[in-house]
Amino acid sequence: MTRFCVTGCERDVESLSQRLENLEPDDLCEIRIDALYDGASLGDAALEELWPLISKYGPRLIVTCRPEWQGGWFSGDEHRRLGLLVKAFELGARFVDVEVVALDELPSFVAHENILASWHGDIADLDKVVFPKDMHIKVAANVNWASDLVKLRRFSQTLKQPASVVAVGHAGIWSRVRPLDFNSAWTYVAAASGLETAAGQVTKDEAVALRALESGKLQPIALVGGKQVTSSVGPAVYNRLFSNTGESFQYLAVPARSWGEVLELTLEFGIPWLSVTMPFKKEAFASSLVSDTWALGAGVANTVQLKQGVPIKCWNTDVVGFLDGLPDAHSRALILGGGDTAFALAYGLRQRNVEVTFAARRVDVVKTRASSMDGVNVVTWQDRASVPFDLLIQATPLDGLLGEAPWDESGLKVLKDSAKLVVDVVVPVKEPTALVKDCWAAGIPVMDGLDFWAYQAARQASLFTGRDVTFKEIVATLNAVRRIDFKCLPESSLLIPGSKSLTQRYLVLSALSDVAAKIHNASTSSDSIELAAALQQFKTGQSNIYCGQGGTTARFMAALSLLTDRQICLEFASGLARRPMRHMADALALAGKQTKIVEERDGKGIFLISGPKFAGGRVSVDASVSSQFASGLLLVAPFLENGLELVIKGPLVSKSYLEMTLRSIKLFGASVIKADYGFKVPPSKPKNVELTVEPDWSLAAFWFVANKITGAGPVPDGLTYPSMQGDAIVCDLLQTIAGGECEIDLKSTPDLLPPLVIAAIFQPWSVTFTNVGHARYKESNRLEVLASELTKVGANITVLEDSMVIKPSILHGPAILNPHGDHRMAMSFGILSLALPKVFVTDKQCVSKSYPSFFNQLEVFRRLSKPPSALVLVGNRGSGKSTVGQALAATLGLDFIDTDVEVERRTGLEISQLFNQGRIGEFRRLESAIIRENLQKPVALATGGGALDDGNARWLLKNAFVAWLDCPVDVLVKRLGNRPSVTGADPAQELELLVKSRNEKYCELAIVKADTSGNNIKEVCDVIERAWRTFQDSYLR
């Protein structure tokens, strides 16, 4: 049975404690003291918090304190380091991890059965290591190739003692998710993304998704090729597919340097199937005893079945899968490139009697290879645009993103006039290829690299499993796990993607027009991609149309059914209950259509539409749940023979999005007439247009909120104002929220709810959002998810039938927030992680629905955030913070703010009164808010003596200039004199209790310490001023 050891690199004991509390019964847990220690920052107070945790959870703990010379964080004294491990042993830790070279330094009383003797190094040096025979051992070896993995496994088979054997490097994943292959007692996994303690380590969720827990019962399938296989989507897709259907396979990627290495790997691990990519496709074919027709004709194979390391049979699913994806008849194909993939696809096309022309740089080489094929021509690369074709296949490695594009802009007119379909076999890694982007913008049908991969994967998976795996099954799985992070911006700015909502409206109008529009800056979100694919399916006469999880796609495609008399079957990746279709069904019924909604057990859904083509006339629609029903009908209206009179029933929600639809229709040259009942759209032929999609204000909103709650980062670039998008009101709404207690109506702009809620939870007053009930029917129940998840960070949120009330609260980390598959939830929680410590977001991939590059840009925001501008003074009561602060402010030209005075101003009460009334929580919340508000201002900020008792305040100040005013207790007592205690206790006793604990926190954050026990204010100010100017200069450099 596979067992996990859950690890993490928490920097504070509080976060570590939360991980331990969430530990599942069968898991071990590693504590990394070196991560907590971080040089000299782990003092006695923190250790006092750590030791009880080790005592409590000891039998399940592996305690590690890895030194810097072994890749850890500990840089202190070696005797001190080993002493911490000995203490952990004494408190009952199951294992203390001690490096093999340091074992002799341990005291003899440390029981060998409680020692994990560890070694970290290169696989080539493993034979030189002498491991103790009476201890558990851990081996972490650098493994980059298949042959290294084989060597590591063979070493593991020689071990007699219990062990954990881990491979670190390009080929390391195999050891992490198939630990039993290496006789490992457990495998290390990170608790969450961002907590990894070693290169190549996966999170627990990722390990589960890769079927690690089941691995002992699963047959391994290996994806082999060069190092590029480590970034393949295959493992995520296939393992989810196999898991969903209960099939006993595990699919993993292993890079290799030679085909000999591959065969050695298959024999060592008993691998029954290979998925083969470059550079081994020719050798896979040549070494197999039997080949299928497609592999035989193409001379290359990508799928191999083996017995005891011998290739028995091979297939080429690239070719047959590619042909599956070509529903239209083509007569002439132009193939760019002359490699193995190009020739394999050419062979397939010739079986369909399609004439083929290669465009290649090395014409002589390609001509020689093509000489045995009939119906094939070869032209120079420069002449590629002059060849007649109706199918273009891009089979070179060129993605056009950083270098040469395979088809430049000057040839786009030829492409637009000639191509019925463009195929680009390059699988996108960070963003769509240049050719795919150009095709989308020009409205040219395109099969991109992911589509190409999915068609072949359906054929390949059918071979693996012995059942008929469909393309739709692969696509649905791919959408569920998709991890391609389209990064479309320079790393020095926040460029907002094109509006998804505008892109979708333009795509529909362009697809229905006689001449496709040229659309620039189109959204590359998965929703937009799925809609473009659905529109292409509709235009080519297909009845079954896949809509994925996009509510907009479903509703717009349902409206398009009015233009045809064929039955339309809309297929959904998730149930219809979350994205209601009933009101659209009612409207279609008035147009003479019959509809049926079918919910499937697995959560998927089907919306069947049949009936005659609708010539036009009057139809009513209920827009109280979503304006998308009305938008879909209006987009179709100009193309109806008699136009459309659309009656709007019920209170209209998301009005701004309906206004966007109307303006989009007008941009295409059609007319819309507003009427008392709704809208009248006469029939028309939209004109040929060229449009640029505005940047998406609903996405920019997240960055405006980020700046509001941190005051520190870059602002979005390139936004259009005035805008067609109602969400452009976001800055005005943020001002309202920051101005005091307020009520904000989001009936017209529902997508602003998630980011505005994040802004609201930081306010020291109540904020109410009204007309938000329909947010329950988005990608998630947003009201419920926001309330339940933000409660984890201390937010006070009440959800009513049609409103959400947010009251002031003390916010805190750590927390692990689950967006429930909702892209806007994930982005909101990502923004929150900028302002609260140790906030982690799961399922980050779901942002591909609207903003694929969001989490990349979040890191850009972190990196470009300005250091705090404030000079912050900390110290105990009576240390002179107000006096020194005012003097420094005068000298340095800063404003002065005393947080205690500001709290009293805002509450109308003295601090002692707040404490006597038991309102300590309110006091701390206001104090943290004041610190947060002023960190990016040129101020000298005097904080209360207990400001750093709040972990969130400490986290806020971690990068700030903090000056600690230190003063002995006896001097403090004299200075305070008759000043009342804030807690009601004797002032001297109060100070004795507080100074010791608080000084530790001051020391942790202070950049400079100044003794204020004397009376020379100028000397104190001079010390702080010198440090302040050095601090400022370091950031200027």
CATH class of 218-315+451-484: alpha beta
- Check if the beta carbon of residue 50 is closer than 8 Å to that of residue 58: no
Question: What would the mean pLDDT of 274-296 be, rounded to a whole number?
Answer: 92
Question: What would the mean pLDDT of 326-338 be, rounded to a whole number?
Answer: 86
Backbone angles phi, psi at 471, to 5 degrees: -60, -40
Question: What would the mean pLDDT of 963-981 be, rounded to a whole number?
Answer: 80
Q: Say whether pLDDT at 430 is over 80.
A: no
CATH topology for 871-1036 is: Rossmann fold (3.40.50)
**Domain 487-693, architecture per CATH:** Alpha-beta prism (3.65)
Percent of the chain with pLDDT over 90: 48
> In whole angstroms, how large is the CA radius of gyration of the chain?
32
Question: What average pLDDT does the structure give for the chain?
Answer: 87
Question: Which pair of tokens denotes residue 1034?
Answer: 């370091």
- Check if the beta carbon of residue 186 is closer than 8 Å to that of residue 213: no
Of the candidates 294, 317, 252, which has an alpha carbon nearest to the alpha carbon of residue 460?
317
Q: Which residues contact 184 (CB under 8 A, 6 or more apart)?
A: 156, 163, 164, 165, 166, 175
Could you tell me where in the chain the CATH 3.40.50.720 domains are found? 318-447
Could you tell me where in the chain the CATH 3.40.50.10860 domains are found? 218-315+451-484
The domain made up of 318-447 is a member of CATH 3.40.50.720: yes
pLDDT of residue 2: 85
Asked whether the CA dihedral 507, 509, 515, 518 is positive or negative, the reply is negative
Residue predicted with more confidence, 652 or 303: 303
pLDDT of residue 489: 30
- Condensed to tens digits (0 to 9), the pLDDT of residues 736-758 reads 998 889 999 998 899 999 999 99
The pTM is what? 0.51
Tokens 């190092």 belong to 227
Question: What would the mean pLDDT of 153-173 be, rounded to a whole number?
Answer: 91
Q: Say whether pLDDT at 38 is over 60.
A: no
- Condensed to tens digits (0 to 9), the pLDDT of residues 457-472 reads 999 999 999 999 988 8
* CB neighbourhood size of 538 (10 A): 21
pLDDT of residue 986: 67
pLDDT of residue 485: 35
Q: Check residue 791 and give left, alpha or beta (phi > 0: left; psi -120 to 50: alpha).
A: alpha
- Check if the beta carbon of residue 726 is closer than 8 Å to that of residue 554: no
Is 219 in a helix, a strand, or coil? strand
CA-to-CA distance for 942 and 960, rounded, in angstroms?
13
Percent of the chain with pLDDT over 70: 93
**C-alpha to C-alpha distances, 414 to 411, 790, 940, nearest whole angstrom:** 5, 53, 65
- Condensed to tens digits (0 to 9), the pLDDT of residues 872-895 reads 999 988 899 999 999 999 988 889
**C-alpha to C-alpha distances, 754 to 445, 739, 822, nearest whole angstrom:** 35, 19, 11
CA-to-CA distance for 942 and 523, rounded, in angstroms?
47
Question: What would the mean pLDDT of 1011-1024 be, rounded to a whole number?
Answer: 88
Is 729 in a helix, a strand, or coil? helix
pLDDT of residue 486: 32
Confidence of residue 40 (pLDDT cuts 50, 70, 90): very low
Of 116-120, 670-674, 726-730, 958-962, the poorest mean pLDDT is in: 958-962
- Condensed to tens digits (0 to 9), the pLDDT of residues 378-424 reads 999 888 888 999 999 998 877 665 556 788 766 778 888 888 889 99
pLDDT of residue 875: 92
pLDDT of residue 947: 87
Q: Which residues contact 536 (CB under 8 A, 6 or more apart)?
A: 445, 511
Q: Say whether pLDDT at 921 is over 80.
A: no
Q: Number of C-alpha atoms within 13 angstroms, CB side, residue 122?
A: 2
Confidence of residue 429 (pLDDT cuts 50, 70, 90): low
Q: Say whether pLDDT at 602 is over 70.
A: no
Question: What would the mean pLDDT of 88-92 be, rounded to a whole number?
Answer: 94
Pick the CATH number of 697-864 from 3.30.750.24, 3.30.450.190, 3.65.10.10, 3.40.1390.30: 3.65.10.10
The amino acid that residue 837 corresponds to is: P
pLDDT of residue 577: 47
CA-to-CA distance for 887 and 908, rounded, in angstroms?
27
**C-alpha to C-alpha distances, 311 to 226, 262, 275, 304, nearest whole angstrom:** 19, 11, 12, 6
Cα angle: 450, vertex 421, 847; to 5 degrees: 35
Question: What would the mean pLDDT of 427-436 be, rounded to a whole number?
Answer: 76
pLDDT of residue 868: 73
CA-to-CA distance for 298 and 343, rounded, in angstroms?
7
Could you tell me where in the chain the CATH 3.40.50.300 domains are found? 871-1036
What are the beta bridge partners of residue 984? none
Question: What would the mean pLDDT of 175-204 be, rounded to a whole number?
Answer: 89
pLDDT of residue 37: 64
Asked whether the CA dihedral 657, 658, 662, 665 is positive or negative, the reply is positive
The domain made up of 1-210 is a member of CATH 3.20.20.70: yes
Confidence of residue 45 (pLDDT cuts 50, 70, 90): low
CA-to-CA distance for 524 and 484, rounded, in angstroms?
12
- Condensed to tens digits (0 to 9), the pLDDT of residues 223-275 reads 998 877 887 889 999 999 999 889 999 999 999 888 999 999 999 999 999 99
pLDDT of residue 530: 87
CA-to-CA distance for 584 and 588, rounded, in angstroms?
6
